[in-house]
Structure 1
Amino acid sequence: MKHFILVFIAVIILFISACNNNEINKTKEEIFNELQKTIDEMETYKCKVKMKVYGNKSEKLYLLEHIFKKPNLFYIKMLKPEESNGCLTIYNGENMWLYHPQIEESYMLKKSFNDTYTDKCLFIGYFLRNFLNSNDKLIEEEVINNKKYLVLTKKDNSKSEYRKKEKLWMKVQDFKPYKLIIFNENNELSLEVEYFDFEYNVKIEKEIFQMQNNK
């Protein structure tokens, strides 16, 4: 009986080791394919975003709430700084709206502005779509605090001098985003984003993407 238990424990250990080796031996391309599958199966997500904007002489820090629903609906709520709390940016698939609670007014942006709106790149789905279509991209791996990340870097064709290269870290364990950084034409940081409280496939009512339901 004792011998049987020892053999059983040994089999379990070998099985766990084999599973771990399979994970370790995966190439970064294989991991990226799994990431892409996860994103393809994603219907919604929500998270908090800490965003740091680098200027010539100062830095500005913002705290935002992000909500996304396929195919391209999004909701951004400003939480900090206090004077901007409650400011909204909403895209319902056709029109983009801005709302400022202090003046209680909303504005619809022109279609041309919708297509080039900078904050779209902060949403993971938009980034990966652009990454796949990019001819100048790089897939790397990095370990931070004993956690493995897939690092995706691509050049940006934006006309803006502040957006020339983007770099996204995704956790290999659960394919949740960790951070995104954007470089300017001088290869200096212009934007740094950290994601937290990230949840995939949460229930989100479509009405939240209509401005009249958020005033």
Structure 2
Amino acid sequence: MIYPPALEALMAALRCLPGVGQKTAQRMAFQLLQRERDGARQLARSLDQALDELGHCRDCRMFSQGDLCPICASDKRDDALLCVVESPADVAALESHTDYRGRYFVLLGRLSPLDGIGPEELGLARLAERMADAAVQEVIVATNPTVEGEATAHYIAELARAAGIAVTRIAHGVPVGGELEYVDGGTLAHALSGRRQVE
């Protein structure tokens, strides 16, 4: 071991971040200690504060500092629409890039029996309760187009149908500005099967 124990501990802690391996953790630690000590202290304070103050919204499971997140607390949202997503990052993407103004439910994952993630871990019983609310008229399933995401979408669709609620799935296919010759076969097949009438 060529580093002091405190530096080894810092590098090990940084490796918990996605995509951060040993070399990246080392670079980050060196940067924080050599040139960004004030930034490192601010980072530590912000992490402590976030861990102490942030939990999950009781209705949608988004990050929240109270019982309800700002979206669920708003009276300007459409209660008839409930969009189901895998992560808080998906909510941020939809809020930033679309004009969707309904409600959300954040699964905090997707069904993956091999990883021990089943309906309980995703809060699907809570989702069924939300669907039982008379105001909900459409469930929009916005899980990712992976094998696990599709299995999760199917499970949610069955819950919605059992509750007598219309269920839709976000479209997947050729990206705007993309060229067909460069699109992978699975995406192209999905886009073709999900085609719609030109208006």
Shorter-chain TM-score bucket reads: under 0.3
Greater relative CO, 1 or 2 (CA 8 Å, sep 6+): 1
Which structure has the highest strand share of the two? 1
Please, what TM-score do these two structures have when normalized by structure 2? 0.25
Larger proportion of helix: 2
